[in-house]
Amino acid sequence: MSTILLPYTHGCFVCGADNPHGLHLKFHAEEGGGIRTDFHTDMRHEGYRGIIHGGVIASALDESMFWAASYVSRQLYMSVQLEVRYQKKVEVGKGYLLLARVAKSQQRMCFTAAELRAADGEVCATATGKFFPVRRDQVPLRHGDFYPDPQALSPSEFFGEGWGLPDATNQGMVARNESDYSSHETRV
């Protein structure tokens, strides 16, 4: 089965290649529009000892459904509803498969479904989502926010020409470093 590697960013928690705390998932589109990725986690993502936090699983399911909706229509979406059902514990250090698809698409809403499967095929979690299309000028993305992987579709190939905001320098990739992801202020 042939698949297409979808664009991914530098900083996203789920797909960001440079986010030291992220999942680093790379999503592939299958013939027919389904989305798949391998799902591997480590101790940074655990809730109870040895078990992946449910919020991390929900984030991965949500992102996979975003890509399913976006791949079919080649436009950006925002999730407006996410329902997750946890069926089996997801353990640290084991490999899983994440699958997503569009269940139904309407002009103002895209309905999606996803599941996380263990290596033996057993379903560990399922999700459904509702995604609302957003105009490209409403999303603060630049070409430079995406990782320049020659094996992946470029943002222009994926979304078409004229999408997104121009880079600040108009030079392409915007450099980031680990301090961009580790510094934060706590406000009370």
- Is the residue at 68 inside a domain? yes
Residue-number span of the structural domain to which 77 is assigned: 3-182
Structure pTM? 0.85
Q: Which of 75, 67, 78 is nearest to 3 (CA)?
A: 67
- Is the residue at 124 inside a domain? yes
- Is the residue at 119 inside a domain? yes
CATH number assigned to the domain comprising residue 121:
3.10.129.10
- Is the residue at 187 inside a domain? no
* Tens-digit pLDDT string for the chain (188 aa): 689 999 999 999 999 999 999 999 999 999 888 999 999 989 999 999 999 999 999 999 999 999 999 999 888 899 999 999 999 999 999 999 999 999 999 989 999 999 999 999 999 999 999 999 998 778 888 888 999 999 999 888 888 776 655 554 433 334 444 444 444 333 33
Q: Are 1 and 32 in contact (CB under 8 A)?
A: no
Which residues, listed in sequence order, are joined to residue 106 by a DSSP beta bridge? none
- Is the residue at 188 inside a domain? no
Q: Which of 87, 92, 128 is nearest to 111 (CA)?
A: 128
- Is the residue at 87 inside a domain? yes
The total number of structural domains in the chain stands at 1
The β-bridge relationship of strands 123-134 and 110-118 is antiparallel
- Is the residue at 109 inside a domain? yes
